[in-house]
A and B are shown apart, each in its own frame.
Chain A
Amino acid sequence: MKNIDFNILFQGISTLVHSETTVLITRISLILLGILLVYLGRKGILEALVMLPMGLGMAAINCGVLIMPDGNPGNIFVDALATDPIVILDKLQINFLQPIYTFMFSNGLIACLIFMGIGVLLDINFLLRRPFTSMFIALCAELGTFFTLPIAKAMGLGYGESASVAMIGGADGPMVLFTSMSLAKELFVPISVVAYLYLGLTYGLYPYLVKLMVPKKLRGIKMESPNNNKQFKPGTKITFAVLMCVILSILFPVASPLFLSLFVGVVIRESGLTSVINVIAGPILYGSTFFLGLMLGVLCDASILLNPKVLILLVLGVVALLLSGIGGILGGYAMYFFTKGKFNPVIGIAGVSCVPTTAKVAQKIVSKENPSALILADAMGANICGVITSALIAGIYITIIPLLG
């Protein structure tokens, strides 16, 4: 019994106690943050499907630090920094989440699978009814995605990092992940975590922004859209999806996996292949989202998040989402003036993508002021266009930003 070394026996505690003060504080903070995320996810304040695995993963990775054979502290969850093929092969046999990271995360597959699920859920009928209005609103709601780029650059981030954090303004988690994996691999964990944290919070805060910017009498405007009951045939929708996929893939080959994933989802939906639709919209979408949350959680170890740029990312995330929300509402106002008061400016907020949450937020605000005002169809059109514009900007950023050096 005398020879038992308690530092070896309780490695989680000994690595915590013997770590530097900053690492110690960060690890304890992340354990507490992880537990808080589980609580907020359970309460429904943040999205449970992402926050429960992310929070628990974050707490576990910062508790489960042990002494590795080389004498340095490490974990047996995942090694995101391994690049050498032999090291990766070695890690695949040790780290239990390494296969998911190597084969699904680092190549963007998980983001594409989620995008495929989103494609299956999209009814582009809403977009086909009023394409110009929906697209205009969606483009205005990308204000944060555009303007955060120079702001981030001015705050000292590189071009790739600035573009990746600016993508938070598109309010589309998988898109942020895909862009940051392509342009800022060393910061993709904090950028994606910030994106998912803020996306959950912002949907609770957007109603306040709408109430602040749109007066009560305008919030209750009833929309009179002659096309609201028009149903396009599946053939039209499939033709649209095929054309868009081909055109956008030719223009931006680097982002073509994203376009293919989105539009193949739309084509499958419109083809009526029920068994495939059920698999993509069920196990694939939910399974991918769950593992995305878990992986982001276990990637939040103290050493990765000790980067001083994380604080800048926290500020820029809010700026991006706030600017996009403001841009969307301003777009709504522009349409209100173009149509001489027949357009409800609240729909502008639905231009910020993430189907269908912001559209539902818009309808909820409008219903509160005027229960007979139905704007969901127009809001969904802007919402779907938001997904397309976000993918478009991701394609432009991934193509152009590396050229800037």
Chain B
Amino acid sequence: MIIKVTILIMCGTFILGMAVAGITAGLGAVISSISNHHSNPKEK
């Protein structure tokens, strides 16, 4: 029982952790592209 719970918690944490990393990377990329877009009006 406890082994199963530990494995589930491990997998859950891994997925959540990677989701956090994904949000971080996505956020960084989106905000960078928005600020680049604003600083370079020719692209509009």
Contact = CB atoms under 8 A, between A and B. Distances in A.
Interface residues of B, number: 24
Contacts, number: 86
B41 interface: no
Interface of A: 127-128, 131-132, 134-136, 138-139, 142, 146-147, 149-150, 153-154, 159, 162, 232-233, 235-236, 239-240, 243-244, 247, 251, 385, 388-389, 392-393, 396-397, 400, 404
Contact of A240 (B3, B13, B27, B35): B27
Given A131-B24, A240-B24, A244-B23, A147 B6 contact: yes
Given A131-B24, A146-B6, A243-B23, A235 B31 contact: yes
Nearest to A401: B5
A236 B13 contact: no
A128 B6 contact: no
B17 A139 contact: yes
Contacts of B25: 131-132
A127 B9 CA distance: 23
Contact of B21 (A132, A146, A147): A132
A392 B16 contact: yes
Given A139-B14, A153-B2, A244-B23, A128 B28 contact: yes
A400 B28 contact: no
6 contacts: A136-B21, A139-B18, A150-B2, A153-B2, A233-B31, A393-B9
Closest 6 CB pairs of A and B: A135-B21, A131-B24, A131-B21, A236-B31, A153-B2, A150-B2
B28 A232 contact: yes
Contacts of A127: 24
A162 B32 CA distance: 44
B44 to A, nearest CB: 20
A400 B9 CA distance: 9
A235 B30 CA distance: 12
Nearest to A134: B21
A162 B2 CA distance: 10
